[in-house]
Amino acid sequence: MPRRHDPERRQRIIDAAIRVVGRSGLAGLTHRSVAAEADVPLGSTTYHFSTLDDLLVAALRQANEGFAKVIESRGALSDPRSDLPAELAGWLGDWLSGDRTGVELEYELYLAALRRPALRPVAAEWADDLAAVLARRTDPLTARALVALLDGICLQVLLTDTPYDEEYTRQALARLVPPPGT
């Protein structure tokens, strides 16, 4: 039976798009596949998202919240005595050891910006937002360098199936932000 008043429909469509991409990759993403996954009429997907890029922007924006939420949920950024390299290395390990499919999905959407210009501002938001969070403990240039290093390490782990090496990451980050007392 169709739902006449469905205030959660837009969110269900975004969630369905993320599941479709997670299962079938970007090539499997169509309005039709998302409508079927969300159990909504095809017209609902095109009503809320006139293009697939619009839908991908919403999905990427939602996926971007993952690592930033991990960092924000911890108190080390507000404590200047905490060992920032060790904290970041640990957080990255927690993120990578969690739902691997979710991490891969986030990067698939993130890297889709290479071919889909509409996604580039959202991909840049992720880096800018994370740099702003990290700039609470360091200067803006170093914060951006930390983001680039974390991003590069994530890509290496995901693309090479190499196990995450927390100590390597801590040492690399410490070259940019020495631990307190050094």
Q: What CATH number does residue 94 fall under? A: 1.10.357.10
Residue 99, pLDDT score: 72
List the one residue out of 123, 168, 124, 125 whose CA is nearest residue 150. 168
Q: How many helices (H) and strands (E) does the chain have?
A: 10, 0
In a domain, 181, yes or no: no
Q: What is the pLDDT along the chain (182 residues), one digit of tens a residue?
A: 455 667 899 999 999 998 998 888 888 999 999 999 999 999 999 999 999 999 988 988 887 776 666 666 766 677 788 899 999 999 889 888 877 777 888 888 888 888 889 888 988 888 898 898 889 889 999 999 999 999 999 999 999 988 999 999 999 999 999 877 66
Q: Does 127 lie in the same domain as 107?
A: yes
Helix (H, G, I), strand (E, B) or coil at 119: helix
Q: Does 111 lie in the same domain as 87?
A: yes
Q: Does 54 lie in the same domain as 22?
A: yes
Report d(CA 63, CA 121) in Å as an integer.
14
Say how many domains are in the chain: 2
Q: Does 82 lie in the same domain as 55?
A: no
Residue 116, pLDDT score: 87
Q: Does 52 lie in the same domain as 109?
A: no
Q: Where in the sequence is the domain holding 166, given as residue range(s)?
A: 64-174
Q: Does 77 lie in the same domain as 134?
A: yes
In a domain, 180, yes or no: no
Residue 179, pLDDT score: 75
Residue 1, pLDDT score: 47
Residue 5, pLDDT score: 67
In a domain, 182, yes or no: no
In a domain, 32, yes or no: yes
Contact 55, 34 (CB under 8 A): yes
